[in-house]
Amino acid sequence: MRQLFVFIRKEFLHVFRDRKSLLMLFGLPITQIVLFGFALSNEIKDSKIVIADYSRDEVTRKITEKIEASRYFDVEENLQSAQQLEAAFKKGKIKMAVIFPENFAEDLLHSKKATVQVIADASDPNVATATTTYITQIINDYNMTSGNASMQPLQIIPEVRMLYNPELKGGPNFVPGVMALVLMLVCTMMTSVAIVKEKELGTMEVLLVSPFKPLDIIISKLTPYLIISVMNLFIILILSVTILDLEIKGNIFLLVFESILFILTSLSIGLFLSINAETQQAAMMGSMMGMMLPTLLLTGFMFPVENMPLPMQWLANLVPSRWYFIIIKKVMLKGLGFSSVWKESLILISMTIFLFTISLRKFKIRLE
Amino acid sequence: MEPVIVTEKLTKKFDDFVAANELTFEVGKGEIFGFLGANGAGKTTAMRMLCGLLKPSSGKATVTGFDIYTQTEQIKKNIGYMSQKFSLYDNLTVKENIRFYGGIYGMRRKEIAVKTDELLSMLQLQGEAKTLVSELPLGWKQKLAFSVSIVHDPSIVFLDEPTGGVDPVTRRQFWDQIYYAADKGVTVFVTTHYMDEAEYCNRVSIMVDGVIAALDSPAALKKQYHSSSMQDVFYQLARNAKRKAD
């Protein structure tokens, strides 16, 4: 036990003496959160739109106010005629146009039906879909609040609710993704490099000649990164809650427990890589190519796994972060308990045990 | 002289290649035993088997009375090892390195502290206790590495080409350290390919192509081969070697 402590202390000294990796260890989660949170958001904010109002009555004025108040839209100008519309679209200045025909309020009052025309620039289909959804919501909203709905008992109004993320914020999707990515990177890359470094330096030989047990070498190598990763986890969670207004709905202890489980899985991958790599570069490349790309592509936070061809889906099933991503979304965003994530947890546990066992067996007590 | 290493027909094969072939020798307590040979002659293989880093293919051997097949744990507690590659941590200080290596051999903090002072004053490195090892000159690093390998007072220390790349003055000082350790009863098992170092050993074994071609004291060997230097003895033995250095 005393020996183990001496070793772990030494590992911490290594980590804290190496400024570059220290910067990476703690800089990475912060940059990722800031990047994804502000720069790479797929939310559509402040889309430029125009409104052409031929009616100019009480109802259109109210709807226009609502649109102007929304943070999704930025009303450029109020056009007078449809002729100006095309020109504005062609210049690419605007993403959408909302047109109220003449006698809008009157039509609504008398025939209980009025049409508002929405024209969107669909050269970017995702943006077009998102903006039209937002505008439909605003108009529906008006319908509900103005009391029109109650006057028309036979009209069927679809009521769309965006569950778990009613405002369609980007955060709830990417925060679990960033957590998966950062923990994976830190644990896998740092551990594999740390172990291979000893091989390269020749100190591993000295360690193997000492009475120190291989299992203890592995434990001492993994412990600092386990602790650092848990610190990173809290940094990410605190940043998400404070600057991204993310609400953690589920049990925080379950969240931490599942994250530690995933950290252990990532550490065992790092261990596995280090045992097969001879140089630090090989270990680095292995974890970059072998882990970072699959994590980015197959976890599901950039591209939904359900839409991938079958072979890709099978491949994705082998990526631990995919399961962690599912767990975190369920726990953090939906507030579900352990009973709904036990399957995914079991997959992570089996992966960890499998990798750890192989690594320990391959970790040569005798250098062949 | 009481033997601390005894081997009998110790053999290591890698597939078809016989790296060490039926090595039989004894090393006595407190002896400085030189293990000579060209690169690829099998000396590192032999040493690794004795340290428990390699499993022998056949033959018998005991180190400090323990069997190298079944009692490696006990052997490990009683030996020190200094590898060919420099084996201290560059980004730890001198003191931290000593503390680490003492620590993994299960020494207590107090013992380590006493030992650290003793080592540093012997090496005249008292002022450098808090210096990072990366900032020390190579010769000092090498001497420190040796001191660290015997920090836990092992009965045998294995040195695998410890003086590679070191200038002659430092090498001489390094050997003074070895003598000092041997005087205190530590058995020194050292591989080298510097023939002047062979002269410093009590007995040397010369390996050629995986077998022990000669084993005796430097004086006896020189007499037997009618040579004035170990260099010449070695040349006579090794010139017929079939294995080329890698």
Alpha carbon A349 to chain centroid, angstroms: 22
Instruction: For residue B28, give the H/E element and its range.
Output: strand B17-28
Q: Do A183 and A143 fall within a single domain?
A: no
**Which residues of chain A are within 8 Å of residue B82 when distances are taken between CB atoms?**
206
A161 lies in some domain: no
Phi then psi for residue A306, to 5 deg, are -60, -25
Contact A10 B96 (CB under 8 A): yes
Instruction: For residue B169, give the H/E element and its range.
Output: helix B168-183
For residue B91, give the nearest of A14, A202, A207 by CB distance.
Answer: A14
Q: Do A107 and A234 fall within a single domain?
A: no
**Mean pLDDT throughout A210-215?**
84
Alpha-carbon Rg for chain B in angstroms? 18
Q: Which domains does chain B have, with CATH numbers?
A: 3-87+155-238 (3.40.50.300)
Q: Give residue A347's pLDDT.
A: 94
Question: Minimal Cα–Cα distance from B226 to chain A, Å?
Answer: 40
Q: Give residue A166's pLDDT.
A: 63
Q: Write the burial class of residue A344 (CB in 10 Å: 0-12 exposed, 13-18 middle, 19+ buried).
A: buried
pLDDT in tens, B65-83: 999 888 888 898 899 998 8
Question: Minimal Cα–Cα distance from A205 to chain B, Å?
Answer: 7
Q: Give residue B246's pLDDT.
A: 47
B51 at interface of A, judged by CB pairs closer than 8 A = yes
pLDDT above 60 for A157: no
A105 lies in some domain: yes
Q: Do A123 and A220 fall within a single domain?
A: no
CB-based contact A349:A262 (threshold 8 Å): no
Cα A143 from Cα B209, distance rounded (Å): 95
Cα B52 from Cα B56, distance rounded (Å): 9
A82 lies in some domain: yes
Contact B104 A18 (CB under 8 A): no
Residues 103-162 in B contacting A (C-alpha not used; CB under 8 Å):
103-106, 108, 149, 158
pLDDT above 60 for A22: yes
Q: Give residue A360's pLDDT.
A: 85
Q: Give residue A348's pLDDT.
A: 93
Q: Do A121 and A26 fall within a single domain?
A: no
Q: Do A146 and A185 fall within a single domain?
A: no
Both tokens assigned to B16: 């078809």
Q: Do A53 and A34 fall within a single domain?
A: no
Structurally, chain A folds into a number of domains equal to 2
pLDDT above 60 for A150: no
Q: B100 falls in which pLDDT band (50, 70, 90)? A: very high
Contact B106 A3 (CB under 8 A): yes
What ipTM does the predicted assembly reach?
A: 0.85
CB-based contact A73:A47 (threshold 8 Å): yes
pLDDT in tens, B4-20: 999 999 998 888 888 88
DSSP structure class, residue B128: G
**Which residues of chain A are within 8 Å of residue B115 when distances are taken between CB atoms?**
none
**Length of chain B as a residue count:** 246
Contact A210 B82 (CB under 8 A): no
Cα distance from N-terminal residue to C-terminal residue, chain B:
37
**Lowest-confidence pick of A364-368, B34-38, B125-129, B228-232:** A364-368
Q: Give residue A165's pLDDT.
A: 63
pLDDT above 90 for A209: no
A145 lies in some domain: yes
Kindly give, in sequence order, each residue whose CB lies less than 8 Å from that of residue A85, ignoring residues fewer than 6 positions away. Answer: A50, A52, A79, A97, A99, A119
- Cβ contacts from A onto B, under 8 A: 82
Q: Give residue A286's pLDDT.
A: 82
Q: B189 falls in which pLDDT band (50, 70, 90)? A: very high
Q: Do A215 and A316 fall within a single domain?
A: yes
Contact A205 B104 (CB under 8 A): no
A74 lies in some domain: yes
Q: Do A76 and A11 fall within a single domain?
A: no
Q: Do A83 and A177 fall within a single domain?
A: no
Contact B92 A366 (CB under 8 A): no
CB-based contact B65:B71 (threshold 8 Å): no
Contact B81 A13 (CB under 8 A): no
Q: Do A123 and A236 fall within a single domain?
A: no
Contact B48 A203 (CB under 8 A): no
Phi then psi for residue A52, to 5 deg, are -110, 115
Mutate to test the interface with B, among A2, A206, A367 (most CBs of B within 10 A): A206
**Mean pLDDT throughout B45-63?**
88
Q: A346 falls in which pLDDT band (50, 70, 90)? A: very high
Q: Do A129 and A202 fall within a single domain?
A: no
CATH of the domain at A125: 3.40.1710.10
A253 lies in some domain: yes
Residue corresponding to tokens 């202390």: A9
Q: Do A307 and A208 fall within a single domain?
A: yes
Q: Give residue A141's pLDDT.
A: 79
Domain of residue A52 covers 47-151
